Amino acid sequence: MSGHRIFQTAFAKVYPMYVQKAGRKGRTRAEVDQVIRWLTGYSQAALERQVAREVDFTTFFAEAPAMNPRREFVTGVVCGVRVEELDDPLMRQIRILDKLVDELAKGKALEKLLRAADG
């Protein structure tokens, strides 16, 4: 397994940053949670448990009940890297989540964001 430090970073440490980023643009925690649930298949209660357990990103994605197959349609640049060109599957999942939160924070309508990802 690749040793990138984000893999061992607790999802609970990054989650508030996602909420803050979206919140600065008038978006809500509920909208961030909806994006995460769409991507991972977690229920709201299961998502909250993962945050409370402070699981790392590796565990967070490994335990995801149903990764959305339409996630492959999420493309674009995050942190200077094209999401669709990432070879490491875990890094790609993390960057897809980053991209979805970025688009939400940029003001894209949630329904449009997920519908666009749905093809």
Domain boundaries, the chain: 5-113
Q: Which of the residue ranges 4-13, 20-29, 38-47, 72-81 would you say has the lowest mean pLDDT?
A: 72-81
CA atoms of 53 and 63, how far apart (whole Å): 12
The total of other beta-carbon atoms located within 10 Å of residue 14's CB is 17
Secondary structure element (H or E) that encloses residue 48, with its range: helix 44-53
What is the per-residue pLDDT across 17-43, written as a single tens digit (0 to 9) for each?
999 999 999 999 999 999 999 999 999
pTM over 0.85: yes
pLDDT for 78 beyond 90: no
Torsion (CA) 18, 22, 23, 24 in degrees, nearest 10 = 110
CATH 1.10.10.60 fits 5-113, yes or no: no
- What is the rounded CA–CA span in Å between residue 58 and residue 82? 21
Would the pLDDT of 109 be above 70? yes
Query: Model confidence at 118, in pLDDT bands (50, 70, 90)?
Result: low
